[in-house]
């Protein structure tokens, strides 16, 4: 992480061979290697505490609430009564934190392959997970997400994929395929929703771009909605998709969003509200044009 040509200590986030983003480190908190990945926690001057997995930024203090609220709430709000939720990944505990805000939720199964990483997050990211791991509604399962989906007989109202990017060399690419999405579909209840992030809108470094992932989702689900937000620690617009058997968050009226947020006592969110929901699904011209030119057509 140290560059001898630059004074002080810096983390370099290498988006591609053509774009590197430097972050000055205030303090190195932890650097270790689990069975599955290299884990680093660093305190930076611009982003606060940062989670780095295999040299890629995953979350940061200053904007984790943007990413996690954007990932969770559009799908949760459009469902009329979410009770049983599955989280794939989400080791930091922040996705879990957002799901547990819903009083209707009776059970959350969180599946993460890396038990040691979750243990480290419990210790070093308390201000993110808010002790969510100890909620009596939570069941933690440490196994591969693909194997869990394949073997479980449970069905869910909401399935959230908070997983790593589909890098060329990573096994996680299997979690962005038609086969996997078909298996996820079979684990949803008849009115269930699946939500996942779908990588950076601009800086796709391999064949699995946001548009290609959207195309895969539309091949499996009857309803697929794309939305995006700028995530400062990623230095990019970041794509998300909600895929559903019945509901479309894009079609949920502002009045309905407002009613549901008030009824569910979700007025204290930092990022997501009625105005945010409305904006998320109104795409600018260049993105609409990009999607029209891609295989994604719904």
Residues marked as catalytic: 162
Q: What's the per-residue H, E or C state across the chain? A: CCCCCCCCCEEEEECCCCCEEEEEEEEEEEEEECCCCEEEEEEECCCEEEEEECCEEEEECCCHHHHHHHHHHHHHHHCCCCCEEEEEECCCCHHHHHHCCCCCCCEEEEECCCHHHHHHHHHHCHHHHCCHHHCCCEEEECCCHHHHHHHCCCCEEEEEEECCCCCCCCHHHHHHCHHHHHHHHHCEEEEEEEEEEEEECCCCCCCCCHHHHHHHHHHHCCEEEEEEEEEHHHCEEEEEEEEECCCCHHHCCHHHHHHHHHHCCCCCCCCCCHHHHHHHCCCCHHHHHHHHHCCCCC
């Amino acid at each position: 992480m140290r560059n001898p040509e630059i004074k002080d200590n810096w983390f370099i986030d290498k988006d591609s061979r053509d774009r590197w983003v430097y972050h000055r480190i205030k303090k190195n908190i932890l650097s270790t290697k689990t069975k599955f990945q290299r884990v680093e926690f660093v305190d930076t001057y611009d982003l606060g505490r940062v989670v780095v997995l295999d040299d890629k930024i995953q979350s940061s203090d200053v904007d984790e609430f943007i990413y996690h609220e954007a990932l969770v709430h559009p799908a949760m709000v459009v469902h009329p009564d979410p009770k049983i939720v599955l989280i794939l990944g989400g080791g930091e505990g922040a996705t879990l934190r957002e799901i547990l805000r819903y009083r209707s939720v009776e059970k959350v199964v969180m599946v993460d392959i890396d038990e040691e990483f979750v243990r480290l997050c419990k210790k070093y990211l308390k201000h993110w997970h808010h002790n969510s791991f100890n909620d009596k509604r939570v069941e933690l399962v440490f196994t591969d997400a693909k194997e869990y989906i394949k073997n479980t007989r449970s069905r869910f109202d909401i399935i959230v994929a908070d997983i790593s990017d589909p890098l060329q060399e990573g096994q996680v690419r299997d979690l962005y395929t038609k086969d996997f999405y078909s298996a996820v579909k079979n684990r949803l209840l008849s009115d269930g929703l699946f939500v996942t992030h779908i990588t950076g809108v601009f800086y796709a470094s391999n064949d699995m771009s946001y548009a290609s992932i959207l195309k895969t989702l539309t091949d499996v689900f009857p309803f697929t909605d794309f939305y995006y937000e700028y995530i400062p620690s990623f230095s990019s617009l970041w794509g998300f998709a909600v895929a559903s058997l019945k509901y479309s968050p894009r079609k949920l009226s502002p009045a309905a969003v407002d009613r549901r947020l008030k009824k569910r006592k979700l007025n204290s969110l930092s990022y997501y509200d009625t105005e945010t929901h409305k904006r998320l699904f109104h795409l600018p011209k260049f993105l609409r044009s990009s999607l029209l030119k891609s295989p994604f057509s719904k």
